[in-house]
Structure 1
Amino acid sequence: MARTVQITFDCADPDTVARFWAEVLGYQLQDPPEGFDSWEEALEAFGVPPAKRNDASAVVDPEGSGPRLFFQRVPEGKQVKNRVHLDVRSAPGLEGDARMAALEEEAERLIALGATRLYRHEPAPPLDGGHIVMADPEGNEFCLD
């Protein structure tokens, strides 16, 4: 039986990181529970103190095909390079200069959203088409591929 997955991010500011990834992937913030117009209203009804209302957030694929991304507040900051990272497929089917131009364009869009550009790997055919390594607003590495 096939399983679905959720990708979980440890972070200091779940709302900010969730909104960033929603923009990157064309996802949306997960809707509040049925019967509530907003998460603020739901959390108030559940008795969650204001200081705890940014302890978690989630984004979902509006088409329902991609994995849910869950963001949870943790007390410690990021220490080392991620052992697992996301590859954001920004130039499928493109090669060479066209591929790298598409990746550069996407990198600029993501920088405007709060990402940091780390470095660029030039194409090395036949197996490496080139990619750009980025970091989200809390330093989690990901690749534009």
Structure 2
Amino acid sequence: MARDVQITFDSADPAALAAFWAEALGYRVQDPPKGFDSWDQALEAMGVPPERRNDASALVDPDGAGPRIFIQRVPEGKQAKNRVHLDLRAAPGLEGDARMAALEAEAERLVAHGATRVERHEPAPPLGFGHIIMTDPEGNEFCLD
């Protein structure tokens, strides 16, 4: 039986990291529960104190196709290289110079939203199509592929 998948990020600032990943993925912050116009209203009604209202955030694919992204506050900072990371398919179907130009354009766009460019890997046929390693604003690695 297939399972739904949720991807979870640990974070120092869930709201800020959610804003970055919403931009990177074309996602949106999950709507508050029915009957509330905002998450602040919902959290107030639930009795969540103001200092705890940035403990978590969730993103959803507006088309309903992609997995939910959950971002939770943790006290410790990032410790080491991620063993699992996201590949953002920024140049599907493209090859060579056209592929790398599309990846460069996406890298530039995401840097403007807080990402850091780490390293470019050039195409190396027959199996290496080229990619760019990046980090999100909290240092989590991801690739533009």
Q: Report the TM-score range of the alignment, normalised by the length of the smaller protein.
A: over 0.9
Pairs within 5 Å for 1:13-92: 13-92=13-92
Unaligned segments of structure 1, at least 5 residues: none
Q: CA deviation at 1:96?
A: 0.5
Normalising by structure 2, report the TM-score: 0.99
Q: CA deviation at 1:10?
A: 0.3
- Runs of 4+ in structure 1 off by over 2 angstroms are none
Residue equivalent to 1:139: 139
User: Which secondary structure state, in structure 2, belongs to the residue aligned with residue 32 of structure 1?
Assistant: coil
Normalising by structure 1, report the TM-score: 0.99
C-alpha distance in structure 1 between counterparts of 2:69 and 2:83, whole Å:
17
Residue equivalent to 1:6: 6
Deviation digits for residues 86-133 of structure 1 (CA, Å, limit 9, x no counterpart) = 000000000001100000000000000000000000111010100000
C-alpha distance in structure 1 between counterparts of 2:122 and 2:99, whole Å:
10
Pairs within 5 Å for 1:115-130: 115-130=115-130
Pairs within 5 Å for 1:94-109: 94-109=94-109
- RMSD after superposition: 0.4
User: Which secondary structure state, in structure 1, belongs to the residue aligned with residue 64 of structure 2?
Assistant: coil
Percentage identity across paired residues of the two chains = 78
User: Which secondary structure state, in structure 2, belongs to the residue aligned with residue 87 of structure 1?
Assistant: strand
Aligned residues: 145
Report the residue type matching 2:77 in the other structure. Answer: G
C-alpha distance in structure 2 between counterparts of 1:48 and 1:141, whole Å:
32
